[in-house]
Amino acid sequence: DVLDETPRAPRIVAVVNQKGGVGKTTTAINLGAALAEIGCRTALIDLDPQGNASTGLGIGKAEREKTSYDLLTGDADFHAVLAPTHVPDLLICPATGDLSSADIEISTTARRSFLLRDALAADRLRGTGLEVVLIDCPPSLSLLTLNAMVAADSVLVPLQSEFFALEGLSQLMLTIREVRASANPDLRIEGVVLTMYDGRNRLAQQVLADAKDALGDLVYDTIIPRNVRLSEAPSYAQPVLEYDPLSKGSIAYRALAQEFMARADWKEPIS
Ligand code: ADP
Ligand code: MG
């Protein structure tokens, strides 16, 4: 079938929430691994100077030769920064601490918000065979996060099931509107996923109900439960799908991958 040979542009999805500790990195790693498991070739760009996604996928500091810093500064091409993980079909562009200075270094360049978009231009993605690119963002609405939102087709928002979760969300929605108005008119909201959910907790139930009221169908049906296996897996440098394939965390992220694919809204093939 000639259509099967046409490379498609991957869906570029920024995992964003300016709050720390809400499950961005956990979602990026495990959604990435779950997508790869169903044969959807995925790359994860670690855009957080803390490099938690890189560590969590077993890329030690010494192994991080070409990084997202090189990608932003134009020192390396997308092909050159992609490293394999031990999960087949899951690649990573790692991050190192020098990314924290990139924020300041790039702030004086003319295309400061467009650096990642330029690095991920269609012609640079050709030949990678990627279907999805996930960008794990730092816990801020900094220039790094802005670069992710300008480069992305959509934003995926992990929402921790706790008080104040929705307050941060309105700030994020405002930023998305600003990005649409200034740099990326087609930026969509991929979905909002409740994380660390404990169904016995009435506050968590309330956050879920409020999120559905405010966001409707944007809230994924899949809810990520609080699961200790998810928090243990990174110290074994594994996605939870490898560390404990039958855990509740694994089951939830597999379901999220299915829902993510079912919402697929493929872009035009790369021409
Ligand atoms: P962020 O990237 O938004 O800062 P992380 O993904 O690093 O957040 O998660 C913060 C902490 O919570 C980490 O220690 C992580 O292992 C833990 N964690 C994330 N999701 C879950 C979950 N569903 N159940 C239990 N622990 C979780
Ligand atoms: Mg993180």
| Assigned domain for 97 exists | yes
Q: Which ligand is nearest to the CA of 29?
A: 1
Mutate to test the pocket of ligand 1, among 26, 55, 197 (most ligand atoms within 8 A of CB): 26
Q: Is 21 in the pocket of ligand 1 (CB under 6 A)?
A: yes
pLDDT in tens, 153-194: 999 999 998 878 888 888 999 999 999 999 999 999 999 999
Protein residue whose Cα sits closest to atom 16 of ligand 1: 231
pLDDT in tens, 54-91: 999 999 999 999 999 999 999 999 999 999 999 999 99
Protein residue whose Cα sits closest to atom 19 of ligand 1: 23
CATH number of 239's domain: 3.40.50.300
The pLDDT of residue 50: 96
Q: Is 56 in the pocket of ligand 1 (CB under 6 A)?
A: no
The pLDDT of residue 29 is above 70: yes
Protein residue whose Cα sits closest to atom 21 of ligand 1: 196
The pLDDT of residue 6: 54
| Assigned domain for 161 exists | yes
How many CB atoms sit inside 10 A of residue 26's CB?
28
Between 167 and 205, the more confident residue is 205
| Assigned domain for 96 exists | yes
Please say whether the beta carbons of 261 and 38 come within 8 A.
yes
Q: Which ligand is nearest to the CA of 53?
A: 2
pLDDT in tens, 217-248: 999 999 999 999 999 999 999 999 999 999 99
- CA distance to 5, 203, 206, 217, per residue, from 23 (Å): 36, 18, 19, 20
Instruction: Report H helices in the chain.
Output: 24-37, 52-56, 68-73, 78-81, 99-105, 115-119, 122-125, 143-151, 165-182, 202-215, 228-232, 240-243, 248-262
The pLDDT of residue 1: 45
The pLDDT of residue 265: 60
| Assigned domain for 21 exists | yes
Protein residue whose Cα sits closest to atom 6 of ligand 1: 23
Q: Determine the structural domain holding residue 195 and report its residue range.
A: 2-259
pLDDT in tens, 107-127: 888 899 999 999 999 888 888
The pLDDT of residue 5: 52
The pLDDT of residue 123: 82
The pLDDT of residue 7: 65
| Assigned domain for 269 exists | no
* 112, two tokens: 């400061």
List residues, by chain if needed, whose CB lies under 5 Å from ion ligand 2: 24-25, 52
| Assigned domain for 46 exists | yes
The pLDDT of residue 168: 85
The pLDDT of residue 36 is above 60: yes
Q: Is 20 in the pocket of ligand 1 (CB under 6 A)?
A: yes
Closest atom of ligand 1 to CA, residue 28 = 6
Q: Percent of the chain beyond pLDDT 70?
A: 94
Please say whether the beta carbons of 218 and 154 come within 8 A.
no
Task: Indicate the number of domains in the chain.
Answer: 1
| Assigned domain for 265 exists | no
Q: How far apart are CA 71 and CA 48, in angstroms?
A: 13
| Assigned domain for 43 exists | yes
- Quote the ligand 1 centre to 230 CA distance (angstroms): 7
